[in-house]
Amino acid sequence: MNRIKNSITNNIGIFLVFAGPAVLAFLAVIIIPFIYGIYLTFTSWDGISRNKPFVGMANYVSVIKDGPFWSSLGLTVFYVIIAVLTVNAVAFALALLVSGKIKGSNFFRAGFFTPNLIGGIILGYIWQFIFKNILVSIGDTLNIAFLQKSWLSSSALAFAALIVVTIWQYSGYMMLIYIAGLTGVSEDVREAALIDGCTGSQVTRYIIIPLMRSSFTICIFLSITRCFMVYDLNLALTEGGPFGSTTMAAMYVYQKAFSSKQYGVGQTEAIILFLITAVIAVTQTMISKSKEVEA
């Protein structure tokens, strides 16, 4: 009897020593705020006062009526679609070019990955300089009309600028994942297809891409979830401008809470953004997983 009791206390001790700190930090920083965050959507809080009056569904009603939120969400979806397609196309093309027996292939890989070492804020400012000064100066010197005015001063071109920098930022990272996938496609399969008379592009289209579905699944999942939450780059490159025309959803939520002091509404919008992202990311993963081919 005593022995059983001893072993239970012993086990509790082991659990607390080994898992205690990790579980405490995890619960305190993610799980408790997550649950408390759901509660916050039913309250109205200005960020200062001690009490958070309960308001029922009022926040949800104001979110439905919040036109700018839905348009920033629409813009974000548009941005995600274009960014995910272009980033992955560029990354896959780079992976095809870099893998194989190419001189300096490690050098190129390392170079394309460099933007990932630097945070979105700093990248954003570097590119702001490129768009505002360098490209304008190039436009003036070479007399190229569409460069002579800063891209960041027109809403359509500022959006394009965000896409350009996103490609530059993420393609090197996704390229590494595609390279890992490419090395997994065995040389035998490729050679057999070539001997059977496939052209190089046919091999890519009908042999390599189907065998690399799992790399595509990972890369598309990563790029969807990252692009949906874009904030740092948005803040540093365009600051949502000109005239708020490039404010993405994550930035809108931030402003709603911390600038307009409508924390309850902001939290509700954050949760809606999360649900939409989660549904899209999970659906995409399930669809592309079901198409994966076992090599």
Distance in Å, CB of 108 to another protein, minimum? 5
Q: Does 70 bind another protein (CB under 8 A)?
A: no
HSE-CB at 188 with a 13 A cutoff on CA atoms is: 1
Residue 29: exposure state from Cβ atoms within 10 A (0-12, 13-18, ≥19): exposed
Distance in Å, CB of 118 to another protein, minimum? 5
Site for another protein in 249-268 (CB under 8 A): 250, 253-254, 257-258, 263, 266-267
Q: Does 231 bind another protein (CB under 8 A)?
A: yes
Q: State residue 54 phi and psi, 5-degree precision.
A: -80, 130
Q: Does 69 bind another protein (CB under 8 A)?
A: no
Distance in Å, CB of 270 to another protein, minimum? 5
Nearer to another protein (CB atom), residue 223 or residue 246: 223
Can you read off the two tokens belonging to residue 121?
A: 């804020």
Binds another protein (CB under 8 A): choice among 80, 94, 203, 224: 94
Q: Does 122 bind another protein (CB under 8 A)?
A: yes
Site for another protein in 174-193 (CB under 8 A): 176-177, 179-180
Q: State residue 94 phi and psi, 5-degree precision.
A: -60, -40
Q: Does 279 bind another protein (CB under 8 A)?
A: no
Binds another protein (CB under 8 A): choice among 8, 28, 64, 85: 28
Distance in Å, CB of 53 to another protein, minimum? 14
Q: Does 61 bind another protein (CB under 8 A)?
A: no
Terminal alpha carbon distance of the chain: 56
| DSSP H or E stretch at residue 36 | helix 32-40
Distance in Å, CB of 243 to another protein, minimum? 18
Q: Does 241 bind another protein (CB under 8 A)?
A: no
C-alpha radius of gyration, the chain, whole number? 25
Site for another protein in 140-169 (CB under 8 A): 141, 168
Q: Does 80 bind another protein (CB under 8 A)?
A: no
Angle at 38 between CA 59 and CA 229, to 5 degrees: 85
State the Cα torsion 135-137-138-142 to the nearest 10°. Answer: 140
Q: Does 9 bind another protein (CB under 8 A)?
A: no
Nearer to another protein (CB atom), residue 118 or residue 286: 118
Query: Distance between CA atoms of 132 and 111, rounded to whole angstroms?
Result: 25
Distance in Å, CB of 74 to another protein, minimum? 18
Query: Distance between CA atoms of 236 and 234, rounded to whole angstroms?
Result: 6
Binds another protein (CB under 8 A): choice among 8, 32, 192, 293: 32
Alpha carbon of 235 to those of 7, 158, 246, 250: distances in Å? Answer: 55, 12, 10, 10
Inter-residue contact 110 to 130 (CB < 8 Å): no
Distance in Å, CB of 103 to another protein, minimum? 6
Can you read off the two tokens belonging to residue 217?
A: 């699944």
